[in-house]
Amino acid sequence: MQQKIKPFLWFDTEAEEAAAHYTAIFPDSRVVEVARYPEGAPRPAGMVMTVEFELAGQRYVALNGGPEFRFNEAVSLAVECEDQEEIDHYWSRLSEGGEEGPCGWLKDKYGLSWQVGPRELDAMITDPDPDKARRATEVMMGMKKLDLQALRDAYQG
């Protein structure tokens, strides 16, 4: 089945570089197609206009649209990890050259926001037992990169 919605990511001139960076980090990822600006377009003819790529089977399009718009935290990509090894891998690769934020959030070197955390986190912080949910949430709020064992320990009490 073809994907109905493809997120577009606006870059100044780094679309191709960013797509290569992201596809090197995630398994089952690839660059699908590169389109270039034609003569008479608002950017130089031959410059990369868009790069369609897949990350873990999800398609995205990176656009070299110019410097007018920058990423901000209003939109982020969440990476649900199975274990601490995956958290560590994605955290280190995505935060390289960027900036670490609180609660598993980071900005990569292009300014795109990511959330890197364990798949089980949502169940912990929304548990019907308010004490379990509170403990897990409080511990998470004090972290940058998430520590799965510390979250589990807090959750269990």
pLDDT of 1 strictly over 70: no
**Which amino acid appears at position 72 of this protein?**
N
pLDDT of 25 strictly over 80: yes
pLDDT category of residue 3 using cuts at 50, 70 and 90: confident
Q: What is the predicted pLDDT for the residue at 154? A: 98
Q: What is the predicted pLDDT for the residue at 112? A: 98
CA distances from 15 to 2, 60, 122, 141 (A): 23, 11, 32, 33
pLDDT of 11 strictly over 90: yes
Tell me: the pLDDT tens digits for 91-139?
999 999 999 999 999 999 999 999 999 999 999 999 999 999 999 999 9
% of the chain with per-residue pLDDT over 90: 98
Average pLDDT over residues 57-86: 97
Of the candidates 107, 109, 104, the one whose C-alpha atom is nearest the C-alpha of residue 140 is 104
CB neighbours of 68 closer than 8 A, spacing ≥ 6?
A: none
- Residues of 80-104 as b/e, b for ≥16 C-beta within 10 angstroms? ebeebebbbbbbeebbeebeebeeb
- The pTM assigned to this predicted structure is 0.93
**Which amino acid appears at position 31 of this protein?**
V
Tell me: the pLDDT tens digits for 113-124?
999 999 999 999
